[in-house]
Amino acid sequence: MLSQEDRFNKGIEALQQITGNEGQQVIDSLGDISPDIAKWIVEFAYGDVISRPGLDLKSRQIATIAALTALGNAQPQLKVHINGALNVGCTREQIIETILQMSVYAGFPASLNGIFAAQEVFQERDAS
């Protein structure tokens, strides 16, 4: 059984591997208003869930991009995870294919708004 400290350390490692500085900035921005949700994102979301074996990180990011595109109400988080997918080795093509496929399962407006999120992320990366 992992200690709390282990969960936190595993979570921070996964957070940084996937989201780089961007995730850390979200965590930091939560420090004043709700340090607890920041802690849960690290310990639970990244430490308990996302760093589990059994599904590789690329597939995990594809699953997240699919879900956030389909739900369509979390555009900032979708952009973080498009960056995250690129950070763990997904190609731009794989990301676009995932978003395009959501036209079948969640309709064209959801898919279009996902494509525009990807376009912004790709342009930001090309610019920097």
First CA to last CA distance, the chain: 42
Rounded to an integer, what distance in angstroms lies between the CA atom of residue 14 and that of residue 27? Answer: 13
Binding of a copy of itself at residue 51 (CB under 8 A)?
A: no
Pick from 24, 67, 79, 88 the residue near a copy of itself by CB under 8 A: 67
Binding of a copy of itself at residue 63 (CB under 8 A)?
A: yes
- In angstroms, the Cα distances linking 79 to 56, 67, 94, 104 are 20, 13, 15, 21
Binding of a copy of itself at residue 83 (CB under 8 A)?
A: no
Rounded to an integer, what distance in angstroms lies between the CA atom of residue 103 and that of residue 93? Answer: 16
Q: Interface residues with a copy of itself (CB under 8 A)?
A: 1-5, 26, 30, 32-34, 36-37, 40-41, 44-45, 48-50, 52, 54-55, 58-60, 62-74, 76-77, 93-94, 96-98, 100-113, 115, 118-119, 122
